[in-house]
């Protein structure tokens, strides 16, 4: 288990999620329980000028919950790169949205496991540019706390989750 306190924080990237999407994430998590839920968040990426320079806002606009027969979504994600690509292309063509985060839940806690770390590294190196520096969002199935992480320069960094109204 990674120690979140030691994890670096990437302040130049923020993921912004509206309460509606949070509700959809919760529904997805409850449906999959006691297994881990998983899905994809699609939206826009905007470059915003702040005092310190530029910030990248990943704005979630659409959530696709995946039903998984697997006991863990991790194997589901890896075995279904093709399906991931299809859903992602559909979002791009139909809604003009891009993949902004891979979502899954944990029975308790919302920090990346060792397996998550391996999978973040795997996707980063899988050759598909859509998965490069991918943001992973993890929801705690007990208190629905949502955390976000990015795999960057071969390490996991935490990023801020902002819930807008
Ligand atoms: Zn996990």
Predicted confidence (pLDDT) per residue in 92-130, tens digit: 888 888 889 999 999 899 999 998 898 888 888 877 777
**CA 40 vs CA 52, 62, 100, 159: distances in Å:** 30, 8, 8, 17
The conformation of residue 108, written as its DSSP 8-state character, comes to S
pLDDT score of 1: 47
The least confident of 25-29, 94-98, 146-150 is 94-98
The conformation of residue 27, written as its DSSP 8-state character, comes to H
d(CA 165, CA 18): 6
Going from the Cα of 15 to the center of ligand 1, the distance in angstroms, rounded, reads 18
Going from the Cα of 129 to the center of ligand 1, the distance in angstroms, rounded, reads 22
| Closest to 161 measured CA to CA, from 140, 146, 143 | 146
pLDDT score of 75: 59
Report the residue count for the chain: 165
Going from the Cα of 18 to the center of ligand 1, the distance in angstroms, rounded, reads 22
Going from the Cα of 49 to the center of ligand 1, the distance in angstroms, rounded, reads 33
Position 44 confidence tier, pLDDT thresholds 50, 70, 90: very high
| Closest to 81 measured CA to CA, from 138, 150, 131 | 131
Going from the Cα of 138 to the center of ligand 1, the distance in angstroms, rounded, reads 7
For 5-134, list the strands marked E by DSSP.
8-17, 38-50, 53-66, 98-106
d(CA 4, CA 138): 13
DSSP three-state, residue 86: helix
Top pLDDT among 91 and 14 is at 14
- Model confidence at 133: pLDDT above 90: no
The model's pLDDT over 64-96, given as tens digits with 9 standing for 90+, comes to: 898 766 655 555 665 677 777 787 788 888 888
Top pLDDT among 120 and 59 is at 59
Phi-psi region of 74 (alpha: psi -120 to 50; beta: other; left: phi over 0): alpha
Whether pTM exceeds 0.85: yes
Going from the Cα of 134 to the center of ligand 1, the distance in angstroms, rounded, reads 14
Alpha helices in the chain (DSSP H): 19-32, 73-79, 81-95, 114-124
pLDDT score of 74: 56
Sign of the Cα torsion 26, 141, 90, 47 reads positive
Contact by Cβ (8 Å): 135, 149: yes
Q: What is the CATH number of domain 4-163?
A: 3.40.140.10
């Amino acid at each position: 288990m990674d120690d979140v306190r030691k994890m670096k924080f990437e302040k130049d990237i923020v993921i912004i999620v509206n309460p509606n999407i949070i509700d959809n994430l919760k529904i997805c998590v409850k449906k999959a329980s006691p297994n881990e839920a998983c899905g994809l968040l699609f939206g826009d990426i905007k470059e915003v000028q702040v005092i310190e320079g530029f910030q990248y806002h990943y704005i979630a606009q659409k959530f696709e919950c995946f039903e998984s027969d697997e006991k863990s979504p991790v194997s589901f994600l890896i075995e279904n790169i093709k399906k991931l690509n299809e859903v992602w292309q559909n979002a791009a063509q139909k809604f003009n949205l891009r993949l902004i985060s891979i979502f899954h839940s944990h029975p308790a806690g919302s920090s990346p496991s060792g397996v998550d770390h391996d999978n973040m590294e795997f996707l980063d190196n899988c050759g598909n540019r859509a998965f490069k520096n991918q943001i992973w969002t993890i929801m705690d199935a007990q208190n629905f706390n949502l955390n976000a992480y990015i795999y960057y320069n071969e390490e996991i960094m935490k990023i801020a989750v902002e819930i807008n109204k």
